[in-house]
Amino acid sequence: MRWTVFAFFAYLFLSLDTGLRPMLEIGSGERGVAPSFLLILMVYVASMGPSHAVRWAALILGLLLDLSSTYPTADGRAATVAGPYALGFILGASLTVQLRGLVYRRHPLTTGFLTLLAGACAFVPAVFLLTMRRIISAGLGSESVIIWVASDQLVHAFLTVLYSALIAVPTGWILNRTAGFFGFQMHPRLGHPR
Q: Which residues contact 126 (CB under 8 A, 6 or more apart)?
A: 84, 85, 87, 88, 157
d(CA 111, CA 170): 9
Candidates 86, 95, 111, 99; CA nearest to 164 is 111
Stretch that binds another protein, among 40-48, 74-82, 166-174, 183-191 (CB under 8 A): 74-82
Mask for 98-127, x = binds another protein (CB under 8 A): --xx------------------------x-
Q: Report the site for another protein in 153-182 (rule: CB under 8 A).
A: 153, 156
Q: Cβ(38)–Cβ(17) under 8 Å?
A: yes
d(CA 20, CA 5): 21
Q: Please tell me whether residue 141 binds another protein under the rule CB under 8 A.
A: no
Mask for 42-61, x = binds another protein (CB under 8 A): --------xxx--xx--x--
Mask for 12-41, x = binds another protein (CB under 8 A): x-xxxxxxxxxxxx--xxxxx-x-x-x---
Q: Please tell me whether residue 5 binds another protein under the rule CB under 8 A.
A: no
